[in-house]
Chain A
Amino acid sequence: MSTTVHVQATVNGQPREGDVEARTLLVHWLRDHLGLTGTHVGCDTSTCGACTVHLNGDAVKSCTVLAAQVDGAEVTTIEGIGQEGALHPLQQSFWEEHGLQCGYCTPGMIMAAAELLDRNPEPSEHDIREALAGNLCRCTGYHNIVKAVQAAAQASPTKEEVTV
């Protein structure tokens, strides 16, 4: 009944492939097939952003991308941006600024913020709030998330290289 497709992609810098049911969502391929459970599902309607990953450098909501669509693409998840002892500046700043409480939205929030800082290394508070409007957090009231993104922007080594 169901059609199987073969997916081959670079995930967190590693080649990954597998056969999946054609309707398999990217988030389920990552979580259930590749064991990358840092990407979460919160809403099923692309509203909450807990499932945000990077697809060829763009932040996407992996609950509304089919695994089949990432064939040949580069996918980066929260597990791929930093490790113990070598945290991503946003991981470090979320920790420093208490930008998380339960931590369920955090991987998606960090991935969305990382894309913002790629596009706009010196965002205003307004820029940050608008950019994160598609990522819901029920714990923090966003106050410290905004501070964390500001702190990461300050800490970013690319800051000096960018001409505004």
Chain B
Amino acid sequence: MGAPGAEAAERTEPEGDGFVGRSLKRKEDPRLIMGRATFTDDLVLPGMLYAAIVRSPEAHARITSIDTSAAREHPGVEAVFTGEDVDVAAPCPMVWVPPGVEMRVPEHWPLARDKVGYVGQAVAVVVGRDKYGVVDAAAQVVVDYDPLPVVTDPEKALEDGAPIIHEEFGTNKVFEWSLPGGDVEAAFRDSDVVVEKRVVNHRTAGAAIEPRSVLAEWREGKLTLWSATQIPHICRVILSIQLGLSEDKIRVVAPEVGGGFGSKLQVYGEEVLACWLARKLGKPVKWTASRSEEMSTTHHGRDQIDYIRIGAKQDGTVTGIHAKIIQDCGSYHLIEGPVIPTFSACVMGGVYDFPAIQTDIVGVFTNKFTTDAIRGAGRPEATHMIELTMDELAAKLEMDPLELRRKNFITEFPSPRPHGFTYDSGDYHRTLDRCVEMLDLDAFRREQAELRERGVYRGVGFSTYVEICGLGPSRALGPDGWGMQGGYFESAQVRVHPTGSVTAYTGTSPHGQGHETGFAQIVADRLGVTPDVVEVIHGDTNTGPFGKNTYGSRSLAVGGEAIARAAEKVQDKAKRIVAHKLEAAPEDIEVSDGSFQVRGSPDKAMTLADVAGEAYIPADLPEGMEAGLDELCFYDPSNFVWPFGAHACVTEVDAETGRVDVVRYIAVDDCGPAINPLLIDGQIHGGIVHAVGQVLYEQVAYDEDGQLMTSTFVDYALPSAADVPSFETDRTETPSPTNTLGVKGVGEAATIACSPAVVASVIDALRPLGVTEIDMPLTPIRVWQAIQEGGAS
């Protein structure tokens, strides 16, 4: 049943002298565990000022006056500015410009001008010498608002007569976009069964534990911004546009960054504002978000209403899938929010061989904050609606839901899909089989039946998923393709120093993933050294080449491949030097046992240090060879990569209270060959809990007046250690043909997989009580209500 080349991952350490594939502990950790790491808010500069921001308590209002006089008089305050003062060159650019699509982009400035569209919108900034004092002074800024009608429900916002948020457009519709593939309507006509479903995928927060923080300095005509960002290089480009300052005058540094999950894949108004203030005042300016600012003005994710239809023949063969997605965009865009639901379209159809696939998307303005990329970014929404609908289809056909899945799995790879993508490699049966085996489904069903006799409701839910990552081929994503105004290559530079240690620069910008370790393993194997002498540098636009940073599970599949290729360029040059010195042919030189050896003559060898000595004292290099041992690579992939897997969740539901507990969770994922299994498992664990949080606890909730009801961690409930179990994980390794490492991505995989498994497990638990569907979040009250309604029906 297995596809060629699909071997189950060895759980033991690999053989040989390579470092790739080993669970090395992280190079990053010593500074972090000792409290010696430097996060942005840890930085202090001479003469540094603090900024505090005055924010709108209104969701939709005209600003009629702002009185800053009392704040200006506050001790220690150096300046107060409002929207009109902040004369930046351009509003926030929105970088998705899909060809042939009318896209509505309201001007979004660092401080509001004339009106506000969401609670928390910045309207004024106070700058002063004392961290507490600027907050006191900000409270003394008096803003008069003339409230306007508010709309927070995206479906109501599309109705005739709804309050219009941006008068200049005359509509709350942001855009309409479609991705057709085959004739879905014909497919439904030819189906024996069509299941239709409305799925609400509610708004969530990235909720990195480190709040956003920025420190800007203007010195000698140059700007430096330290920012808790995932995207320092992209940030520099956008700062250049917004500030009207050339890139050579701007340095952006992402120091230690305390988690991102997409929420720091952004260029926020505060980043632009801090830079403008530092230049205006000639002094460094720092701003760090409070948690309430973080919850109200760090972009949210999800917030789709999905109408999905799946058609099938009586034997279970699927015929077509159609999704209409209503995406709540909030009232303004940041850099790319509207594109996020299109990533749902990329994986519409999931792991199943649908002959026809279509996704239609409508983006909508509401009086809420911006939605944009949060871990998974469109793909969790797709998996969620597909998997729950497949379960309903199975119920309607009276088929086992796993049999339905197996019947429809794609088995031939590469697999061109009707909507234009080509899945690179996969073995969906293998991951599901392993998942079912680890669960011991038969034993679970016996246990479930016994527990039901005693009034204990346990259920199991499955999710089989594929995701798109490794962003990505610039030709596909760029201006003439998907419409992104940027390239999605990644850069790397591998520099061997004169005595043989190595510095590798990556254009990616990690914030917890472990690139310093994983990338060092890749370089070490190619140069015959150990990872401890390979330093990986990232997150600073003044070091290394321009890069495209970290998001969309791209760092390894694009950035790691760039690192490997740059290291191989170094290796090629080193081989030529070794061949020249040892009087052998370059093709006979191999890297083995920590040196460059003549094949078959291990006594004839040079270490990397020996080679570096020759390269930097270039008295005897091959004819025409330049000095130095330092190589650059810009790698732009030919395709995306498509990780996949199967997850199973067992929950127990207290039918009296509606409380749901996750009892077991099994994840079998395939992200290609492992570079460092320890890091993969860590990403899977975190990804599961991120999604469990959405399913059971977390919701960014606004009331009908647009007031944010979840502005702290007291109201926005992240899962704690006490809320989740330990996890059972395994991997298969199906190499991707897209890159030489064969790797895919893993940062988002578990979040993309998890949510339908949890929801399905609750439905499975409560089926005896008549519950057949339930929307997230599965809070006790909602589950209890579903039980009452199920019992009544």
Contacts and interface: CB of A to CB of B under 8 A. Distances in A.
B41 interface: yes
A4 B136 CA distance: 17
Interface in A106-157: 106-107, 110, 125, 128-130, 132-147
B682 A144 contact: yes
Interface in B681-732: 681-682, 684-690, 712-714, 718, 720-724, 726-727
A56 interface: no
A14 interface: no
A77 interface: yes
A130 B722 contact: yes
Q: Which of B31, B720, B723, B727 has the most CB of A within 10 A?
A: B720
Contact of A103 (B33, B684, B714): B33
A26 B679 CA distance: 35
B35 A107 contact: yes
B170 interface: no
Contact of B210 (A40, A77, A87): A40
B228 to A, nearest CB: 10
Contacts, number: 184
A48 B513 contact: no
B726 A101 contact: no
A163 interface: no
Interface string A40-53: 11111101101000
B32 interface: yes
Given A39-B35, A100-B33, A133 B721 contact: yes
A1 to B, nearest CB: 7
A54 interface: no
B36 interface: yes
Given A40-B210, A102-B210, A104-B258, A134 B720 contact: yes
Interface string B658-689: 00000000000000000000110110111111
Contacts of A8: none
A156 B246 CA distance: 56
Nearest to A143: B685
Given A129-B721, A140-B686, A142-B689, A103 B726 contact: no
Q: Which of A36, A98, A140 has the most CB of B within 10 A?
A: A98
A44 B292 contact: yes
A151 B147 CA distance: 58
A130 B211 CA distance: 25
Interface in B342-392: none
B722 A129 contact: yes
Contacts of A62: none
- Chain A: interface secondary structure? loop
A43 B712 contact: yes
B514 interface: yes
Contact of B258 (A40, A83, A128, A133): A40
Contact of B33 (A1, A94, A129, A136): A94
Interface stretch (B22-30, B315-323, B442-450, B521-529): B22-30
B792 interface: no
A84 interface: yes
Contact of B512 (A36, A129, A139): A139
A40 B39 contact: yes
Contacts of A87: 33-34
B685 A136 contact: no
Contacts of B690: 138, 141
A128 B726 CA distance: 12
A101 B39 CA distance: 14
A38 B259 contact: no
B42 A37 contact: yes
Contact of B75 (A1, A32, A41, A106): A1
Contacts of B35: 36-39, 77-79, 107
A42 B209 contact: yes
B712 A101 contact: no
A24 B684 CA distance: 40
A141 B687 contact: yes
A47 B25 CA distance: 30
B30 A98 contact: no
A135 B511 CA distance: 19
B39 A136 contact: no
B34 A78 contact: yes
Contacts of A95: 25-26, 29-30, 33
A28 to B, nearest CB: 7
Contacts of A142: 685, 689, 720-721, 724
A133 to B, nearest CB: 4
A23 interface: yes
Contact of B32 (A41, A45, A106): A106
Interchain residue pairs A-B with the least CB separation, the first 10: A38-B35, A104-B258, A103-B32, A102-B512, A141-B685, A78-B35, A101-B512, A141-B689, A47-B713, A37-B42
Given A47-B712, A78-B35, 18 more contacts: A40-B209, A45-B291, A78-B34, A79-B34, A79-B36, A83-B34, A94-B33, A101-B686, A103-B31, A103-B33, A103-B258, A105-B258, A136-B718, A138-B690, A140-B682, A141-B724, A143-B685, A144-B681
20 contacts: A36-B35, A37-B38, A37-B41, A38-B34, A43-B291, A84-B30, A102-B259, A103-B33, A103-B512, A104-B259, A107-B35, A128-B721, A133-B722, A138-B259, A138-B261, A141-B686, A141-B724, A141-B727, A143-B726, A144-B682
